[in-house]
Structure 1
Amino acid sequence: MRKLRCIPLLLLVCLHASAQKKPLTHAVYDGWQSINERYISNNGKWVVFTITPQEGDAMLVIQATDNSYRKEITRGYAAAITGDNRFVICKIKPLFAATRDAKIKKKKADEMPKDSMAIVELGKDSVLRIPRIKSFKTPDKGTGQWLAYLQEKALPVPPVVPQPDSAAQLNSLLHMADSLTRVADSLRRKASEAKTAGLAALKAPKLAAKPKPGEPVEEGSELVLRNLYTGEEKRFPLVSDYYFSKAGNAFIIQTTRSNADTLKKAAIVWYNTAGGKTDTIFRGFNTAKNFAFDDAGAQLAFIAERDSSAKALQKFYKLYYYRTGMDSARLRVDRNTTGVKNGLTLSETSAPEFSQNGQKLFFGLMPVRKPKDTTLIDFETARLDIWHYNDDYLQPQQLVQLPTELSRSFKAVLNGNEDKVIQLGAEDAETIMLADDKNAEYVLATTTKGNRVESQWMGYAKATAFIISTVDGSRKVVKEKLRNFFNISPGGKYVIWYDVTQKNYFTYTISTGAITNITKSIKVPLYDEEDDHPDDPLPHGIMAWHKNDKYVYVYDMYDVWQCDPEGKKAPYNFTRGYGRSHKIIYRYMPTDKEAKPITDTQTVVFKILNLVNKEGGVTFHEVGDTTFPGYGTNGQFQVGFQIFKAKDSNVYVYTIESFKFSPVLEILKDTLVEWTDADVNGSKALYKDSVLVRPLYYSNPQQKDYNWLTCELTKWTMFDGKQSEGLLFKPENFDAKKKYPMILYFYEKNSDDLYLYRQPAPSASTINIPLFVSNGYLVFVPDIHYKKGEPGESAYNAVVSAAKYFTRKPWVDSTKMAIQGQSWGGYQVAYLVTRTNMFAAAEAGAPVSNMTSAYGGIRWGTGINRQFQYEHTQSRIGYTLWQRPDLYIKNSPLFRADKVTTPLLITHNDADGAVPWYQGIEYFTALRRLGKKVWMLQYNGEDHNLVERRNRKDLSIRLSQYFDYFLKGAPAPHWLAEGVPATSKGVDWGTELEEKKGF
């Protein structure tokens, strides 16, 4: 067994000493980078990634994993590596400055700068650039020989006007004067004739009527199919869309008709890439969409409509089918086909799907909806929403879900060459899950119909599961009215679910109908044992299935259990209990986008987190190895969200990060081949029983020029005698002999994120920790532990006890402490200032201030009612308003507004879809009436958290100014000292600093 190897990353954590490092400012945000797109070639020899600044031009990097080659494509993105490991293709964005300038000048869409494309042959220096590209595609699999790209429409070429010489210009002017004289004489003559002959002589002759053309369409543009091996290209005009089969053996081109030439009709063309043969398989339609190949590239299905006008209020789509050897695509399904129930038609929103073996064709049906009555006069028609107590969902939720409901499809299937439709989905089987690569005889159907009303206060609707035959549509009930989700095994042999009341996993064997408790002998909890909500705790979840449904793997808090889906074998601790005994969480990281089942010879990749010291890493464990852990890397960092593996070799690419250093792109090779580069801790030797880890790219090297931060895991005793922990951020140049102002930021629990990298960035709603710490603040982020019915006091127990703990530190200025939070954190800030006066300032983002009015309100972003949140989830009251009104009043800051003495800044935006902004208004108006120091920032048209970067930058400046004034004694900005009246809106932003110190 290879040992788990700890990589200390000495080069990364070495902080370059300098006499004076700069503090971060708001001006640095734009240039701070992220590592975004990441791809690895099938052979593991090439990596492609993008380096993206927050604002500006990105860079796409193509790099050999042995560092022998590197190519940069400025502004490259959306890359693809061909399956043969030979080429990289990417799009190239226009210059950021050019796009910005075009927006300022309000240019039309056609006039905006357009993307281009780059083709790079790996290992070579040349780059082929192609301008004005809409899109490109390559086959998912196959040789990598083919590339197709759709070009933007050609720009109109202005006519070339010859520039005459001086003599020619003079002659032209004389000729023009003669012509004007002749025209004037002609007009005088006609006017004289008109006096005698009447005005009829001046009337223009009536032109013959031209034939009326068809309704104009948005014409397609030129498509190019390029052979990457030979450079040969084939061009197709008027193309609107195009598709490769998975292997690239077939290529579909959809063209539009021509507005100028009525003989050129819309068509679908099949191109055989091997033989170069082109066949038109469908012609003369209004719309065709949702094309689907089978895996072999021999069958094609699509939806089309060819009978109505473009402006028709009601259109009926049909399913068409083509197979190689046929003359043209033929109609397979319309609303008159056997098996399509009356009132249903083909869905235009559901794409057809072939089973892996090509024997089943799945598609969607949807209700025929009544068209809008266009004879009604809009300004004479009532507009209202009707709420009914028996509705499945409240009207606001129905309106939010309206686009989804209008496009909802019921899955159906055709078997083989049969033309009888088997309907699977329905109003009482709205969710359908396929299995065995869509080959399985049965599908899993679930429904919440009949149980949706209670989701208003429960937060979920109980589901009923069926299995439905794809052969005859018959149903069998699996389980009724269960809280948690049902899933079908990949091979289609079992249905699995977790029962929250029995706290175990159960399976249903489809072949026998047997139901089995498969985890009853596991003695450790499979649910979240630290959950503090007043509700049944949910499970940690299913990791994966084994090939052929041999096992299912489920999580406890730390480890993974291998379970027999029929319960004949006892559950087996796949991670050997190592996680629980060492307080390490193991979580599976699929490295293939297809997320295939676990195999007997697979190397399973786990992301790990040590709950004691918060260190992270990645572990590789070979299935069948009797020892654990496997091999890998761990240390004072955490691993990014995704790990990518080369398809044909054991080479992995991922990122690591820490509070100390910005994300680093790393390559890990499960091999004993030596790399002699001294970049890995200065070591040139690769020893036995280890794996090779190589950094490929260090982001944000400019960080070394700034006063950065350090982070410490801190523990203290709360008022209730229990211990909690949190994260203490200090400046890199921290001096224990000085006194620092401190801001406490909080939201539930964050201590597991000790090694999370926090990027300087404009604020969406909370303080940017690196910015504040770099400028001489301490920031503490405490974990909060909750008790039922006491969310406010639970916050007091954690936050205020932490603040008092730090007042005993000689380097904390106890008179200059503040609190800040957003959403649930904003509520807690609003509550805490009613319970203590120890803070010099506070900022509450989107706070709930009145639980009695919020309880029955609507979360407008989703349209759902808030009752469940107070009774069962985050608010943790645990009772209805009428059961315990005292708890709602006790935990509402509004009812203790007269106790507030702390200056309070509220941020609440008028398009907030999570916490209605009238909650902020209620608190602001109460405090204002009471003569308290209170301000409210309301960003127009913004949601719960700011989206627009201009607003984020503005909030960042105001948060700095606010806390600098109260905690550092800096001059007050005008908006804080005097406010900004509506008459100055858009003219004066009020961020200039006042001369005086106070107000």
Structure 2
Amino acid sequence: MKVNVNRLIKMAAVCVVILVGLVPCPVLGQGIQKKQLTEEDYGLWGSLRTFAVSDNGLWVSYKISYPSGNDTLFVKSTQSTAMYSLPKIPNGFFVGNSRYAFLAKGQVEIIALDSGIRTFIREVKDCQPVNGGRYLLATASDNDSTCLNLYDLDGRLLKRFCNIAGYALNNAKDALLYTQYENQSHAICIVSLGKKSMKTSIISNSNVPFSKLAWSKDDNAVAFQSLAANRSVDPGHVYLYDIGTSKLHSLSDKNAKTFPDGQRLSADNALHLRISDDHKRVFFGTEDNVALSAVQEEDLVEIWKHNDTILYPVQREVKRYPRAESHLGVWNVDLNSAVIIGKGQYRWALLAGNARYVISSGNATDFRDLRYYQHTDYYITDAVTGATSLLLASHPGPDATFSLSPDGRYLAYLKDGNWWTYDTQAKKHTNITVMLQSQWDTSLSKPGYSVFSFGIMGWDHDGNILINDEHDIWSVSPNGRGGKRITRGKEAQLSYRLAAKEGAGFNPVAYSSSSSRLLDLRKGIYLSWYNTQNGVSGYTRLEKGKIIPLSSGRFNAGNLLTCQNPGIVLYEQQGYDLPPRIVAYDIKQKASKVIVESNVHHRNFEWGHSEIISYNVDTDSLKGVLIYPAGYTAGEKYPMITYIYERLLHRAQEYVNPSPYDIMGFNIANLSAKGYFILLPDIRYRPGHTGQSALECVTAAVDSVVRAGRVDPARIGIIGHSFGGFETNYIIAHSKLFAAAISGAGISDPIYAYLSYGEGTTEIDYWRYEDQQFRIGKGFFEAPELYIENSPLFSAADITTPLLIWSGKKDPVVNPDQSFIMYAAMRRLKKKSILLLYPDEVHALALKKNQADLTMRTESWFGHYLRGMKADWIE
């Protein structure tokens, strides 16, 4: 159905503000006296989120969200002022170049963007474009039956499939594998999605349902599984259907000659089906064929053994909800045989060498391993013969190190500070970076912390691996024949990375045959950059070895959007005094223009600005961000709040909406408007001396600001949350620099915390101190003096700073007892402190009413002690 309502909004030459005033207006605010921001004004601010750009780059969709919930979705031209506003619509999608569709109130609405004509598809639950955007596939209900409806772009129903039990689109999204349940019978079919839909029935009239539907990479084969609720009624099967030959192959878990002994098919959807690229193998899930029974009664006593591989709370859940151990299996279709992959229970696997080889993880080499990534043995299995051998002994977890070449031949991994490859054809390990002069992991830049790699960006068109160091990208031969640096970030103090929208990261997908991104440097790629000296970020294009800037100025750029039009990219841009906006960059013209501005009323209000400060700690030169009070007057001395959490330079050009709602109760814009300087210092750490490191760096940063004469040294506060809460506790126990402090969900007693059970990790928290953020590097029993040195509790008697402490009572990350211990110590020592405990909250506050309460109390606490604004709840 078409309706020519044509709500296309034509913007006049003068600025017309629609809803939130999103159109740039150069004269707005000129000559107008700026207002002081008050709490009554907070509701004006909305948050910008860019969603998508049309294929031709001529339209962009984005949303402005408000705390009140009055959100609006917009679709705007990138070439003109034409725009559609769609209140209360959460999101939608472009269909081709000139249509936009979204779901609202049980119907799909399609807008022809050029004409404004709207088409409606009634009574559907969801919708998506298929076959290159030529058609729409929607889910609907019909007499308690789930139906799939295929429509053309004018809303005409072309095909309808009902009684759908499950479905999977192929990679090209022009064909559908689906299952039906009708008249007590199950069927599975393939249908092409077009005006003339061709249907192929694979199996019909089955008594057993089908699940785990999967397509091959080339869309020429499908796999699925059948599994009866009562396994004694019908044996489970894995099926492979070759579309070209119309041949159906099956593997039964009841056939002892071909199926792994003692195993049965697993219903666990995490153990999905995957077809090798040559269709010769299907990977599937199995589980031990054992009888399981749940234990419902509670244990009379909890039994925690010293040698438990999993701790008691997890054991209790296993008793309540027992599951057979799962394994990854591979079915060699031509040989009609199946084998189990690797050793032990399925945890992680990666398909290599066109899925001829499988790399899998075993058990942790030491179940009490205290590192962030437990060291594990990794195995390589021949998927045809089942022969398994050790590939890597006691190696960190896969998320930290692994990447597979697109052809599956090479596995890259980080070992002892260098990148290595394993050649599945030559069966050879090679150190490929030993001769290159660079640092590939974080052991120097983050001493005392878990060692991470700087990552692998991808693999290039010549088969080289693209590896990141701290600043640059290198192209390195996987066979060890050398490499070269392809960016020059180190000299400019920039850090280059692949732009986020180019891909989803370098880590492989678990049991995948195509785990790493292939980048054609000949066609050019988009890179992000970060300036390590001023916190500014942006985008460039690497083309034929040259860097072409796409953004400039002291702003942050993010959320890059590319499209099929190679001449245009879009990204978001913001600065501390610049609300987020959408910018379009014309690559041929080398010119950018602002498409959308958010919160244009911002320029009517007094606002602060950010400044980079420098300070020295021993021989280290550090940076910090200093936020000025809104309406700053030179010559006056202001109070200052210091917010701490490791390194914060990246926040120098972050725009913050003023708001009563914050998960930590700390809002920079609010506090700047209330007349505070805000200091965000960087902290460098010496292993074993974490608290002292924070004290040294924060003191040096504060001193450098005070010497400049703008801050009153008697009116300085400090605030931190989580690890920053620990640092706050430590600093006020060792310094009289601060007149007020707030510690949220922070550690007060590292000894107790070290020996505490972590609800969130189901492990004892040794690892946080020996190999993670606390950077002590040694266990308590090995170096008790370091735990005493880093304990705020042991120095609490020296605290003179009034302390506000808060925590969620259900925090699974930092036990709320840590906040209570600090409160109890302050109370016993008769020192000024208040403890806020929020029921039903976790590590950061989620409920709006609690966020508003904490934000109010944070600002009231600092107002009471730094500005003399007395508060009854404090007194």
TM range (shorter): 0.7 to 0.9
| Matched AA of 1:87 | R
Shift of 1:959: 1.2
- Alpha-carbon separation, structure 2, partners of 1:13 and 1:564: 55
Shift of 1:809: 4.1
The equivalent of 1:106 in structure 2 is none
Change in CA separation of 1:547 and 1:407 when aligned onto 2, cut-off 3 Å: farther
1:507 partnered with 2:496: no
1:807 partnered with 2:706: yes
Change in CA separation of 1:329 and 1:359 when aligned onto 2, cut-off 3 Å: closer
Query: Residues 352 and 424 of structure 2 are in contact (CA less than 8 Å); yes or no, is this contact kept in structure 1?
Result: no
1:61 partnered with 2:52: no
Query: Residues 463 and 485 of structure 1 are in contact (CA less than 8 Å); yes or no, is this contact kept in structure 2?
Result: no
* 2:607 maps to which of 678, 692, 708: 708
User: 263-272 or 827-836: which moved more?
Assistant: 263-272
TM (norm. structure 2) is 0.87
- Alpha-carbon separation, structure 1, partners of 2:339 and 2:28: 66
Change in CA separation of 1:647 and 1:20 when aligned onto 2, cut-off 3 Å: closer
1:589 partnered with 2:495: no
Shift of 1:770: 0.8
| Matched AA of 2:114 | G
Change in CA separation of 1:585 and 1:840 when aligned onto 2, cut-off 3 Å: same
TM (norm. structure 1) is 0.77
What is the CA RMSD across the aligned residues, in angstroms? 3.3
- Alpha-carbon separation, structure 1, partners of 2:756 and 2:783: 18
- Alpha-carbon separation, structure 1, partners of 2:281 and 2:27: 56
Shift of 1:599: 2.0
| Matched AA of 2:359 | L
Shift of 1:315: 11
1:460 partnered with 2:377: no
Query: Residues 366 and 408 of structure 1 are in contact (CA less than 8 Å); yes or no, is this contact kept in structure 2?
Result: yes
Change in CA separation of 1:806 and 1:599 when aligned onto 2, cut-off 3 Å: closer
- Alpha-carbon separation, structure 2, partners of 1:404 and 1:723: 55
The equivalent of 1:126 in structure 2 is 117
Change in CA separation of 1:399 and 1:806 when aligned onto 2, cut-off 3 Å: farther
Query: Residues 396 and 864 of structure 1 are in contact (CA less than 8 Å); yes or no, is this contact kept in structure 2?
Result: no
Secondary structure at the counterpart of residue 822 of structure 2: helix
- Spell out, residue by residue over 1:432-469, the C-alpha distance to the aligned partner (whole angstroms, 9 max, x if none): 11247xx342232233x1514232x2333223333322
The equivalent of 2:21 in structure 1 is none
- Spell out, residue by residue over 1:397-446, the C-alpha distance to the aligned partner (whole angstroms, 9 max, x if none): 6679999995975333334555322432542663211247xx34223223
1:85 partnered with 2:97: yes
Structure with greater Cα Rg? 1
The equivalent of 1:143 in structure 2 is 132
- Alpha-carbon separation, structure 2, partners of 1:414 and 1:725: 57
Shift of 1:132: 4.9
Shift of 1:326: 9.3
The equivalent of 2:272 in structure 1 is 351
Change in CA separation of 1:346 and 1:956 when aligned onto 2, cut-off 3 Å: same
- Alpha-carbon separation, structure 1, partners of 2:137 and 2:324: 31
Change in CA separation of 1:648 and 1:813 when aligned onto 2, cut-off 3 Å: closer
* 1:599 maps to which of 496, 520, 545: 520
| Matched AA of 1:90 | F
Q: Which has the higher helix share?
A: 1
1:970 partnered with 2:869: yes
1:32 partnered with 2:32: no
Secondary structure at the counterpart of residue 778 of structure 2: coil
* 1:630 maps to which of 548, 551, 574: 548
- Alpha-carbon separation, structure 2, partners of 1:807 and 1:325: 76
Secondary structure at the counterpart of residue 458 of structure 1: coil
Shift of 1:952: 1.4
Identity, in percent, stands at: 24
The equivalent of 2:681 in structure 1 is 782
The equivalent of 2:658 in structure 1 is 760
The equivalent of 1:443 in structure 2 is 358
Shift of 1:746: 0.5
1:822 partnered with 2:811: no
Shift of 1:900: 1.9
- Alpha-carbon separation, structure 2, partners of 1:859 and 1:244: 41
- Alpha-carbon separation, structure 1, partners of 2:348 and 2:810: 32
1:45 partnered with 2:58: yes
* 2:410 maps to which of 488, 494, 498: 494
- Alpha-carbon separation, structure 2, partners of 1:701 and 1:335: 68
- Alpha-carbon separation, structure 2, partners of 1:597 and 1:935: 56
The equivalent of 1:580 in structure 2 is 490
Query: Residues 835 and 899 of structure 1 are in contact (CA less than 8 Å); yes or no, is this contact kept in structure 2?
Result: yes
- Alpha-carbon separation, structure 2, partners of 1:970 and 1:229: 64
1:22 partnered with 2:36: yes
- Spell out, residue by residue over 1:14-37, the C-alpha distance to the aligned partner (whole angstroms, 9 max, x if none): 97563241314276258522214x
The equivalent of 2:344 in structure 1 is 427
Change in CA separation of 1:486 and 1:28 when aligned onto 2, cut-off 3 Å: same
The equivalent of 1:306 in structure 2 is 228
Change in CA separation of 1:612 and 1:922 when aligned onto 2, cut-off 3 Å: closer
Change in CA separation of 1:810 and 1:272 when aligned onto 2, cut-off 3 Å: closer
Change in CA separation of 1:294 and 1:516 when aligned onto 2, cut-off 3 Å: closer
Residues 194-209 of structure 1 correspond to what in structure 2 (within 5 A)? none
- Alpha-carbon separation, structure 2, partners of 1:50 and 1:415: 49
- Alpha-carbon separation, structure 2, partners of 1:23 and 1:335: 73
Shift of 1:917: 0.8
Shift of 1:905: 0.6
- Spell out, residue by residue over 1:515-544, the C-alpha distance to the aligned partner (whole angstroms, 9 max, x if none): 222111212322336434326743322221
- Spell out, residue by residue over 1:288-334, the C-alpha distance to the aligned partner (whole angstroms, 9 max, x if none): 4322223454533223333539xx9x998543444559999775343
Secondary structure at the counterpart of residue 457 of structure 2: strand
- Spell out, residue by residue over 1:732-787, the C-alpha distance to the aligned partner (whole angstroms, 9 max, x if none): 31112322211111101111332222233412115111111112111111111222
| Matched AA of 1:341 | D
- Alpha-carbon separation, structure 1, partners of 2:389 and 2:534: 50
| Matched AA of 1:19 | Q
User: 321-330 or 478-487: which moved more?
Assistant: 321-330
| Matched AA of 1:353 | R
Change in CA separation of 1:297 and 1:538 when aligned onto 2, cut-off 3 Å: closer
Q: Which has the higher strand share?
A: 2
Secondary structure at the counterpart of residue 805 of structure 2: strand
- Spell out, residue by residue over 1:176-232, the C-alpha distance to the aligned partner (whole angstroms, 9 max, x if none): xxxxxxxxxxxxxxxxxxxxxxxxxxxxxxxxxxxxxxxxxxx43444221226723
Shift of 1:127: 2.2
| Matched AA of 1:468 | T
- Alpha-carbon separation, structure 2, partners of 1:431 and 1:659: 43
- Alpha-carbon separation, structure 1, partners of 2:779 and 2:794: 19
Change in CA separation of 1:634 and 1:811 when aligned onto 2, cut-off 3 Å: same
The equivalent of 1:3 in structure 2 is none
* 1:479 maps to which of 382, 392, 403: 392
Query: Residues 212 and 272 of structure 2 are in contact (CA less than 8 Å); yes or no, is this contact kept in structure 1?
Result: yes
- Spell out, residue by residue over 1:234-274, the C-alpha distance to the aligned partner (whole angstroms, 9 max, x if none): 334444544433334423444455xxxxx464544543434
Runs of 5+ consecutive residues of structure 1 not aligned to the other structure: 1-9, 93-113, 155-218, 258-262, 673-690, 977-998
